[in-house]
């Protein structure tokens, strides 16, 4: 039997009923934008450390579970590829995807305050929908190259980073190249570099699994297009930061100066 997900704290998918409730669609929400492995969790931890009073909404996974996946699947889904499939079905009905889902919720401002932060949106469709539909929202986009994202996933040991698929054969480099869509994401030299991570102690199966996550996510969300779109917005609404060039402390400094 599936274990039901925890209720969303002080949030509900209904119009406001009490004076202290406000639609998230109307609040001046700060939204982190970026795909898996760009450094959102690290940046978020640094932001919380610099400002313990910052209010961070339940993350993308929790919103996805409650609004997109549970109504369709009837229970929690842990496999990343299956989650991508289910969220793609949601986006077929609601092109704004996570931005649409977030905008359907009402928040208890006694708990979340008037200026909460959300982690996060991905891809052009979500970001454009959010920017055009919710004028009070502001965006901080974090970027990192895809090979760096794979390395970060290998280092973070997140139990959520699971994806079903065939195992590793006798040649990791060949298995990486055989991943559907890998050639559109990684150059041959980058695949060589990923295969070489096994020499540094990473298990070939882990390298293949984390690379599959990045490739699969790329098939659903285009971070480059999202970043380019945000670059067209006034600086007061959007900030784009490279998490390879900037340390977590520098990211926090940039965000605090911008805010």
Selected residue with higher pLDDT from 15 and 39: 39
Rounded mean pLDDT, 75-88: 86
Say how far apart CA 67 and CA 236 lie, in whole Å. Answer: 30
Instruction: List the single range of 106-120, 167-181, 234-248 with lowest mean pLDDT.
Output: 167-181
CB 232 within 8 A of CB 55: no
Label residue 5 by pLDDT band (50, 70, 90): low
C-alpha closest to that of 30 among 232, 225, 224, 258: 258
The predicted-structure confidence for 16-38, as pLDDT tens digits, reads as follows: 888 999 999 999 999 999 999 99
221 half-sphere exposure, CB direction, 13 A CA radius = 25
Count structural domains, the chain: 1
CA separation, residue 98 to residues 8, 126, 142, 209 (Å): 15, 6, 17, 24
Instruction: Please indicate, yes or no, if residue 17 is contained in any of the structural domains.
Output: no
- For residue 100 the two structure tokens come to 């649409």
The per-residue pLDDT of the chain, averaged, comes to 89
Instruction: For residues 9-16, give the mean pLDDT.
Output: 88
If you average pLDDT over residues 56-76, what whole number do you get? 89
Q: How many helices (H) does the chain have, and how many strands (E)?
A: 14, 7
User: What is the residue-wise DSSP string for 5-61?
Assistant: PPPPTTEESS---STTEEEGGGS--EEEE--TTSSHHHHHHHHHHH-TT--B---HH
Cβ neighbours of residue 138 under 8 Å, at least 6 residues apart?
28, 29, 30, 31, 236, 237, 238
CATH number of domain containing 231:
3.40.50.300
Distance, CA of 74 to CA of 97 (rounded, Å): 19
* 103 falls within a domain: yes
pLDDT at 1 over 60: no
pLDDT for position 168: 60
Residue 156 has pLDDT above 80, yes or no: no
Alpha carbon of residue 205 to chain centroid: 23
Buried-state track 229-257, b at ≥16 Cβ within 10 A, e below 16? bbeeeeeeebbbbbbeebebeebbebbee
Q: Tell me, yes or no, whether 135 lies in a domain.
A: yes
- 155 versus 145: the higher-pLDDT residue is 145
Name the pLDDT band for 252 (thresholds 50, 70, 90): very high
Q: What is the pLDDT of residue 16?
A: 83
Which two three-digit tokens encode residue 118? 């959300």
Q: Which structural domain, as residue segments, surrounds residue 72?
A: 26-153+222-258
Place of tokens 């402390």: 249
The secondary structure of 172-194 as a DSSP string is HHHHHHHSTTHHHHS-HHHHHHH
Residues 240 and 109: their CA atoms lie apart, in Å, by: 28
Render the burial of 71-92: b for 16+ CB within 10 Å, e for the rest: eeeeeebeebbebbebbeebbe
209 near 163, Cβ under 8 Å?
A: yes
Most confident of 8-17, 54-63, 84-93, 181-190: 181-190
Other beta carbons within 10 Å of 146? 21
Confidence of residue 97 (pLDDT cuts 50, 70, 90): very high
Report yes or no on 251 lying in a domain. yes
Residue 163 lies in a domain: no
pLDDT at 159: 43
pTM for this one? 0.84
């Amino acid at each position: 039997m599936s274990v039901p997900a925890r209720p969303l704290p002080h949030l509900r998918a209904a119009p406001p009923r009490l004076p202290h409730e406000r639609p998230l669609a109307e609040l001046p929400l700060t939204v982190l934008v970026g795909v898996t492995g760009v450094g959102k969790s690290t940046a978020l931890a640094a932001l919380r450390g610099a400002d313990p009073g910052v209010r961070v909404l339940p993350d993308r996974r929790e919103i996805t579970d409650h609004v997109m996946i549970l109504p369709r699947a009837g229970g929690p889904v842990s496999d990343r590829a299956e989650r991508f499939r289910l969220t793609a079905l949601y986006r077929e009905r609601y092109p704004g995807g996570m931005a649409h889902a977030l905008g359907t919720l009402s928040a208890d401002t006694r708990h979340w305050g008037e200026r909460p932060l959300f982690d996060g949106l991905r891809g052009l469709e979500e970001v454009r929908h959010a920017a055009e539909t919710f004028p009070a929202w502001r965006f901080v986009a974090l970027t990192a190259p895809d090979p760096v994202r794979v390395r970060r996933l290998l280092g973070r040991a997140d139990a959520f980073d699971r994806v079903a698929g065939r195992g590793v054969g006798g040649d990791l480099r060949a298995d990486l190249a055989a991943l559907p869509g890998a050639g559109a994401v990684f150059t041959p030299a980058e695949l060589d570099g990923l295969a070489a991570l096994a020499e540094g102690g990473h298990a070939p199966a882990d390298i293949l699994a984390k690379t599959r996550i990045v490739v699969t996510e790329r098939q659903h969300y285009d971070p480059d297009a999202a970043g380019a779109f945000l670059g067209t917005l006034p600086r007061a609404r959007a900030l784009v930061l490279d998490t390879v060039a900037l340390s977590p402390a520098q990211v926090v400094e940039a965000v605090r100066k911008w805010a």
